[in-house]
Structure 1
């Protein structure tokens, strides 16, 4: 079981309502493939280092959770083709 941190970058033109819906959906999906509690923080809109899908800004949301390594591929796959998500990065924060 590993402790992970995931950074999701959403389109800058996403509405608050859609963002809340997406954040809750991501939390449910992570809980399905992970273990324990999922913590998330909306870091707000930030300028990107380089354009992504023609956007110069994105809304950053950080998640922290615990999961088996095999569950990470399933988590990534479930968000691959969502139109409101520009990028997803998941890193190992610690091993247990």
Structure 2
């Protein structure tokens, strides 16, 4: 099985409970084809750059899942028949790129923590110098 990121656009007038049902329906199609849903992230309602099919906006949802590569075209065909799904884009996830991005994010966190610790130490040194200069700080 291969990992995929699916970006789904649902009709913009959907309520929260209706949106949850639509997401469950989409995830159900994935599991019906022997796939596994890994994560689901609602990106929110966004306005289109230009109207499409007389619609101005849609609710974007990102779903990461695992599926057999031969089943992707079947999955896309099923979504074309679904009225709830306005648009779908499915991209294969590159595991090597994901590992590099995760490592870079971790390194960035370490650098930020070191920078914050250095700034805090500098601030404490300046406070101590000010107290020595003016005597008791009351």
- In the superposition, the TM-score normalised over structure 2's length comes to 0.63
Alignment of structure 1 residues 1-96 onto 2, 5 Å: 1-94=1-94
Q: Distance in 2 between matches of 1:23 and 1:37?
A: 11
Q: Which ranges in structure 2 are unaligned for 5 or more consecutive residues? A: 96-138
Kindly tell me: are residues 77 and 48 of structure 1, through their superposed partners in 2, closer, same or farther at Cα, counting changes over 3 Å?
Answer: same
Q: Distance in 2 between matches of 1:43 and 1:16?
A: 13
Shift of 1:34: 4.3
Structure 1 residues 34 and 63: alpha-carbon distance in aligned structure 2, compared to 1, 3 A threshold: farther
**Distance (Å, rounded) in 1 between the aligned partners of 2:13 and 2:35:** 32
Higher helix share: 2
**Rg comparison, structure with higher value:** 2
Partner SS for 1:80: helix
2:3, 2:64 within 8 Å by CA — same for their partners in 1? yes
Query: 1 or 2 for the larger relative contact order (CA 8 Å, sep ≥6)?
Result: 1
CA contact (8 A) 1:14 1:84 kept: no
